[in-house]
Structure formats: C-alpha cells, structure tokens
Amino acid sequence: MKNFQFVLIATTLSGLLYGVAPAVRAQNGGLPDSTIQQRLEELDQKQRILERKWELAQEEAAAKTKDAPTLIAGKDGFALKSADGKFQLKLRGYTQTDGRFYLSDAEKRLTNTFLLRRIRPIFEGTLDKNFDFYIMLDFGGGTAVLQDAFVDFRYWPQARLRIGKLKEPFGLERLQSGANLLFIERALPNNLIPNRDVGVQLHGELAKGVLTYAVSAFNGVADGASADNDNGDEKDYVGRLFFLPFKNSTTAALPGLGLGISSSTGTQQGSTASPGLPSYKTPAQQTYFSYRSDGTAAGTTIANGKRMRISPQAYYYYGPLGLFGEYVISNQQVVRDAHFKKLKNEAWQVAASYVLTGQKVTYRGVATPKAFEPKDSNWGAFELAARYNKLTVDKDAFPIFADLTRSAQTATAWAVGLNWYLNKNAKFTLNYEQTNFGGGASPGDRKQEKIISSRLQLSY
C-alpha cells in the first residue's frame, strides 16, 4: 500500500512539473519569475525524495523476503526452515492402533483386545547447518517412554558422530522404523538383538553410498532390551557394515541388493536382584521363555561374563518384489548356584513381499503414487507378505538354567499378511501368525499359538 502511495504522489508531482509549468509560463509572458522557479525546484526535489523512499522501501521488502523463514506443511509433516537453510525444525510422527485376536484359546488365558501400540511424536531439526538432533517419544499403552534422543554432527558424509540414546546398529529388521515394518510385529530374531541404548557412534557412507558403516560404544543391554543407564563399568562395542554393491548400476535388477554383517561384544555381570538376562516373546507378544529366577542366589540364573553377538543379513528389492533375511547368534556366559555355562542361542527369519498394484518397494516401504480415491478408480497400493522365522535356545540351558516345563527351547512361526497403503500417510495391515513350540509345558510342548492381528497406522 505504501509503495502505491509513493508512486501516486511521484506521478502527481511529475504532472505538476511538466503540465502546470507551461501554463504558468504562459501567464507570465513565457518567462517564469523567480518565485515560480523556486516552487518548481521544490516540487522536483520532493519528487526525487519520494522516489528514493520508494526505492528504499522496495529494497527493504526484498531483504525481508530473503531473510524470512519458510513454514512447510504437507504429506511429509510440518517444518520451519530459516531462509539460508542452516536452521530447521521438523515435526513428524506416527500412531498405530492395533487389534489382537487369539485363536485356539479355549482356556481364555489370553485377552482379545484393541490397543494403542505406538503413539510417537518425533522432533528433529538442524542447528547451524552441521548439527542435527532427533527426539522421539512414545505414549503407546498409556505410558510415556523416551525412545530416542541424540545429536548428530555431520560435517563429512564419510564420518558422522552421533551421541545419545539410539538404536544399536545391529539388526536389519530392528533398524527399520516401526512405521515401515512389513508385519505388525517384528520376527523372533529380534529377541536376540539389542534395541536402544545410550552411547556414541561413528558412522558414514563411503564410495558414493556403496558401503555404510557404524562403529559404536554403548552402556550395554540384554538381548532384545532397551535402557537409559548402566549398572556396571563394562561397555558393549558394536560394529556394522552394509554393502549395496550395485547401488549405482544402470541395470534395473541390481541396485536393490544389500548385504551386511554386524557384531557386538561386551561383558555383562548380573545380580540376584538384576540378573541381566532376557526373556523371549512370540510375535503375539507373549513370553514363552525365561531363565530361572526365584529371588534367591541359588535359584536365579544371572549373566556372568562375556557376551557376543553376530548377524549376517541381506535384502533384495526389484520393482514390486521384496526379499528379506537375517540370522542372529547370541553367546552369553551365565551362572546359577555354582554352575557356569556359555550358552549359544540362535534365530533366523526369511520374508517375501509383492505389491499387487505394481508400485515399487524398498527397505523403507512402498511408494504410492496414487492416493485412495474410489471415484477416480484409485484404491492405493496392496501388498502381500509371507514370513518364516525360528528361535532356538541352547539345549544346555535346560534344566539347570531354565525349566523346560515352563520355557520352550524352540519357537517356530510363520505368518501371512496384507498391507493396504491408502496413501503415503495411511496404512491398514492384517496378519495371521502361527507359532509352534518345542517344550514349555508339563508334559510336552507349549500349546500352539494362533493370532489374527490388525493395525491402522497414520504417519506424517
């Protein structure tokens, strides 16, 4: 508005100078007197002042526009970014509402239920270009948990330093976001894989992303566990290498191949009050194995020394086809009532998926170029999935360190699933999973577990 006023006034003054002046001259015999000349010069000066003010206002407006932050709201979430891009704040997250329905449960041991599996707001951003931060909370199940909280210093893509609470760089499926899982629950091998821990990690990409690596030092957690603090001086050391040997290939069938291996080593020293050993759950989230623990020194199995893990892993994605597999070995020294043993537990899984509607699938999920809109004959993307997985506890764990009539030595599960991606932000999943056990009951085997589960996920 001010700019318009400046232009209007300047135009009017120009008219006075070039339109009124001739008339004045005519009335004075063609020779303006000194007074008229002075007034004309004053008008000319005012015009120049107004024109300069207008130019300055334009420059100021341009500078403000250049320095103004950008507010973004879209399918990828919400973001606030400085004009130079050095400072950013992003708000993302996802919610998962599940249904669990247990079959073959005539004894009514298990409860069919709806639950809020994950409610996770995510705050991430950049400070002064080179420092990233990431904070993820979880309110699933009505409790508040700090899942992740770390800072990433990323001056070089080949070497970035991450400090805080984060996932240990170990399991292939464990490192996937909970929003990108192929099935509702992760497979049995994740019982042997460390989850989140506090520590420091050096990681990066080499050879244009062909090789990614991570080397870390953490407080140390039991198989499948997370923690916010430590109860001992010893630390765990974790390393992972992952290769995409054909990432930059122009042959369409090759870039989706990934091969990796991870390893961890450390010392775990438990106590009667805090044994430092895991329990294992089925994909239906039911505990089927635990070590002996009666609260006494003689009756409790505790971690007592070296713990080592190793996991070869691989995936392959080509168009709508996805293949996925990993194998995990966890070795742990334990003690109970003067009995010492190094136990070796093993688990593996293979999974396959196919997008019926033809969209491309990757490790991070399915691309959905067309959103759900029935009137336009767009129904989103449909993906079929199948999985087979198994976990085996060392036979030497029985009967001294674990009770075979209460804890199963083996769990073998298979699952089929349907994923419906309504758009990039909404996903509906339906799974059927069946688990068979070796041991775990008196007498014989724990009863077969069958479950139908569903999930509605919204992510942003």
Token readout for 262 is: 């991870």
Separation CA 438–CA 444 (nearest Å):
8
Greatest mean pLDDT among 26-40, 364-378, 389-403 lies in 389-403
Q: Which residues of 80-109 are buried (b: 16+ CB within 10 A; e: fewer)?
A: ebbeeeeebbbebbbbbbbbbebeeeeeee
- For residues 347 and 9, what is the distance between their CA atoms, to the nearest angstrom? 82
Neighbours of 386 (CB within 10 A): 15
User: CB-based contacts of 216: which residues, under 8 Å, 6+ apart?
Assistant: 168, 169, 199, 200, 201, 202, 203, 237, 238, 239
pLDDT range class, residue 173, cuts 50, 70, 90: very high
pLDDT tens figures, 179-222: 999 999 999 999 999 999 999 999 999 999 999 999 999 999 99
Best CA proximity match to 131, nearest among 161, 159, 158: 161
**What six digits make up the tokens of 260?**
């990796």
Cα gap 242→262, rounded to integer Å: 8
Positive or negative torsion for Cα 173, 175, 181, 184 = positive
Tell me the C-alpha distance between 387 and 199, whole Å: 33
- Lookup: tokens for 342: 């190094």
Helix count (H) and strand count (E) of the chain?
A: 3, 22
Please state, in angstroms and rounded to a whole number, the distance separating the CA atoms of residues 57 and 2.
8
Predicted structure pTM score: 0.85
For 310-330, the pLDDT digits (tens) are: 999 999 999 999 999 999 999
